[in-house]
Amino acid sequence: MLTRAPRTLALTAALTLALSSSLGLGACANGKDGVGSLVRLDDEGAGDNCPAGGVAIRSGADLDGDGTLTDSEITATEYICHGVDGTDATATLISLADEPAGANCIEGGQAILVGGDANADGLLQPEEVSGTSYVCHGATGVGGAPGALSLVRQEDEPPGVTCRFGGRAILSGLDLDGNGYLDDAEVTAVSPVCNGAPGAPGHSTLFDLITLPRGVDCAGGGFRIFSGLDLDDDGVLITGETTQVRHVCHGISGIDGRTSVVEVTAILPGPECTAGGMRIEAGVDLDSDGTLVAAEITTSRNVCDGIDGRDGIQTMVLTTVEPSGTNCTAGGHRLDVGSDDNRDDLLTPDEVDVTSYVCHGGGVVMRIGHAAWGGVCPRGGVRIETGVDDDGDGVLGDAEVDRVEYACNLFLVQIDSGEDHTCALVSNGTVRCWGFNTYGQLGDGTTVSRTSPVAVSGLMDAVSISTGGSHTCARLSFGTVMCWGNNAYGRLGDGTIVNRLTPTEVSGLVDAIDVVAGGEHTCARRTGGTASCWGFNIYGQLGDGTIAHRSSPVTVVGLAAVEELALGQAHTCARALDSSVRCWGNNAYGQLGDATIISRVAPVVVSGLSLATHLTAGANHTCVIRSDSGGRCWGLNTSGQLGDNTVVQRNTAVTITSLILADRIAAGEAHTCATLADGTGRCWGANASGQLGDNSVSQRNLPTVVLGLALAVDVSTGMLASCARLQDGAARCWGRNAFGQLGDGSTIDRRTPVPVLFGLAP
């Protein structure tokens, strides 16, 4: 992008937001006759406030003392929105507790604890609480009687018209008879909090087995196994449903000439396969009885059904005959393992992640098993064991294992959006890019634009990446930086202005701990807390006190203890260890935040800003997330990209309205996005290409919900597109797609998130 900038239920997050925003009602000022606080809950129909409907929480002071909150007494309104159908919902639980007089409620009151029933035990455990808010008693009036207490109680809401899938009902009112219990006659508002709908069921895995004659696929004959998901649920595996083809070959001369046997059995849902599946076992028919017994099994593999709401990408294993030579003196078999990245049901050379050999002679045997999540393979994979068959039983026993290898499923660890292209860092240190490629910014050695990810040529040890206007950079594990693409003004840092179609090393940089690409310049954070920049410098965005372009790194003056860098189109910012922010470069729109519109050739402090924990820069605006989980922005605001509900340009930081619990933020050309602690997303600003993800093309001056986005852990924004990385290591993108920058295999703009076509299995 121009800069670089566990899901609880959406309903829970909304409830926490609504009640937290109403805290001020509990701290009533002393006044006549102890005026009490009231809360009223009304149904909210589907619309702009709640796409799927919900509840409006209205609050205010009971000015006329009638125990009912009238419209004229309402001072605040918040919304609790129903979740949309999707993955199976965790029940929302609400727990009430007395709150003693103190800091939270001066006169005491009620504490409302909200959270998802993660362990499904029907109780809200302390570790499940995701939000706490307070309904406080009114203060005793000067010379008046004590005010009536506010009470809240809850009841189960059975499945039915009110809540299709059940939920909880919240009842509130004033304790008019002073008995400490909210009687039915005292209830003034009742509102349901409904559970979300269950997700769509997963499809079963099907298999088809045919016998192969001796030939190319199997020198001694064998079996071809077709597998896939039963998408039409008819119990028959048809051509369009096949996702994987494997071969199990009979033994040939030199391996006792015995026949291979394959057996397929069902696996019930459990630890081996979350949603169930099938076990494929293969081995040599040592007793020639045509069946495979336990002692004859040499290979065992599980093929699991898709998890509800998401179909898994297949890991493929391809076995071929290895001729006599360097790898196997007497010949043998070659085993290639990888993910079917392009979903063509074939394991092509560029998809192979691990290659090993099982050689004839010496009685070498092999077994293949499942590598569980969270061990050597964070997202699971295949465990390959080989050794010499010392006891000659044709089976590799535990004591005979000489070598263990893993073919781990891959996943994304970072995604970054440039002007019209996107790149992702993969867990094995490689990088994939897609989108516009006229300058070679995809790094695949061509200038051909791509609608789905392609590997960056020769890059194997990357630990972080950044995409700029039309160039891309990666930091390697040993501190060097590689860049590729457009090299006008020397933005690649290799001492030239020659465009590069594959990665080239930045000159003299050996201690980088981060790299960030901007519109036409690049910067690196270095060991010791300093920073260096190179490229276009007409506005002083390199921070070296000059406006001279640089084709190799120069040190930013007066900068120390740098924790994070962010680059815009022609300005640069740095967050320091003390949580302050400094900026330099173009300031025509106030994007430096120093209360002026004067461009700077060296860093200046952003006025009135503290507690910054995450920093991002768009084309001509800048934003931060603070330690209080709120946000601040400054600079150009013609499209509402600052999120303060105006289109007024700001040269000092202003608060992003209604943004709480935010943890990551990214600024694009004229829009901004953030991810929240509950895994959902919010975007605001320009929206002509659907880059806000709310299924519209309407400009938004306030944060709006990204539809269908859940379990997001990071967000990135380009010129007119946005992307998010998910907890399972996959990615979704939305917005402009003219050059394939969304990575979904098309050039169709998308107004809501769509999956990037990675062959990376969760």
Compute the average pLDDT of residues 354-359. Answer: 69
Compute the average pLDDT of residues 281-306. Answer: 67
Identify the sign of the CA torsion 236, 241, 247, 248. negative
The fraction of the chain above a pLDDT of 90, given in percent, is 45
**What three-state secondary structure class fits 399?**
helix
578: which 2 tokens? 């003390």
Name the percent of the chain in helix, strand, coil, to the closest 5: 5, 45, 50
The DSSP 8-state label assigned to residue 307 in this structure reads B
90-99, 344-353, 450-459, 738-747: least confidently modelled range: 90-99
pLDDT in tens, 599-611: 999 999 999 999 9
Confidence tier at 379 by pLDDT (50, 70, 90): confident
pLDDT in tens, 237-261: 676 666 656 555 555 443 344 455 5
pLDDT in tens, 472-510: 999 999 999 999 999 999 999 999 999 999 999 999 999
pLDDT of residue 301: 62
pLDDT of residue 3: 40
Structural domains in the chain, sorted by start: 10-194 (no CATH), 205-408 (no CATH), 411-560 (2.130.10.30)
Quickly count: other Cβ atoms within 10 Å of residue 707's Cβ. Answer: 18
Please tell me the distance from the alpha carbon of residue 52 to that of residue 43, in angstroms, as a whole number.
Answer: 12
Tracing tokens 């059940």 back to the chain, one arrives at: 166
Confidence tier at 204 by pLDDT (50, 70, 90): low
Confidence tier at 63 by pLDDT (50, 70, 90): confident
β-sheet with 600-605: strand ranges across: 562-567, 571-576, 581-585, 600-605
User: Element (H or E) spanning 13, and its range?
Assistant: helix 10-21
In order of 38, 101, 135, 149, 433, the CA distances from 27 in angstroms are 12, 11, 9, 13, 53
Please tell me the distance from the alpha carbon of residue 128 to that of residue 118, in angstroms, as a whole number.
Answer: 7
Please tell me the distance from the alpha carbon of residue 154 to that of residue 190, in angstroms, as a whole number.
Answer: 9
pLDDT in tens, 410-446: 899 999 999 999 999 999 999 999 999 999 999 999 9
The pLDDT mean for the chain works out to 79
Residue 215, Cβ density class (10 Å: 0-12 exposed, 13-18 middle, ≥19 buried): exposed
Please tell me the distance from the alpha carbon of residue 156 to that of residue 192, in angstroms, as a whole number.
Answer: 9
In order of 654, 663, 704, 727, the CA distances from 625 in angstroms are 12, 7, 17, 20
What's the gap between Cα 667 and its chain centre? 17
**pLDDT exceeds cutoff 80 at 222:** no
Contact 204, 304 (CB under 8 A): no
pLDDT of residue 610: 92
**What three-state secondary structure class fits 104?**
coil
pLDDT of residue 326: 75
77-91, 308-322, 398-412: least confidently modelled range: 77-91
pLDDT of residue 454: 96
Compute the average pLDDT of residues 632-658. Answer: 98
Confidence tier at 89 by pLDDT (50, 70, 90): very low
Confidence tier at 268 by pLDDT (50, 70, 90): confident
Please tell me the distance from the alpha carbon of residue 159 to that of residue 725, in angstroms, as a whole number.
Answer: 35
The one-letter code for the residue type at 227 is S
pLDDT in tens, 540-592: 999 999 999 999 999 999 999 999 999 999 999 999 999 999 999 999 999 99
Please tell me the distance from the alpha carbon of residue 20 to that of residue 629, in angstroms, as a whole number.
Answer: 13
56 versus 548: which is more confidently predicted?
548
Confidence tier at 171 by pLDDT (50, 70, 90): low
> Would the pTM count as exceeding 0.85?
no
pLDDT of residue 382: 84
Please tell me the distance from the alpha carbon of residue 217 to that of residue 205, in angstroms, as a whole number.
Answer: 24
695: which 2 tokens? 């299924």
Please tell me the distance from the alpha carbon of residue 292 to that of residue 297, in angstroms, as a whole number.
Answer: 7
**Do β-strands 531-535 and 421-426 pair in parallel, antiparallel, or remain unpaired?**
unpaired
**Do β-strands 297-304 and 381-388 pair in parallel, antiparallel, or remain unpaired?**
unpaired
pLDDT of residue 415: 97
* Best-predicted range by mean pLDDT (13-27, 102-116, 276-290): 102-116
Residue 422, Cβ density class (10 Å: 0-12 exposed, 13-18 middle, ≥19 buried): buried
Compute the average pLDDT of residues 252-274. Answer: 59
In order of 442, 493, 494, 551, 553, the CA distances from 507 in angstroms are 21, 6, 5, 9, 7
339 versus 5: which is more confidently predicted?
339
Compute the average pLDDT of residues 307-317. Answer: 53
Confidence tier at 649 by pLDDT (50, 70, 90): very high
Compute the average pLDDT of residues 291-316. Answer: 60
Contact 611, 642 (CB under 8 A): no
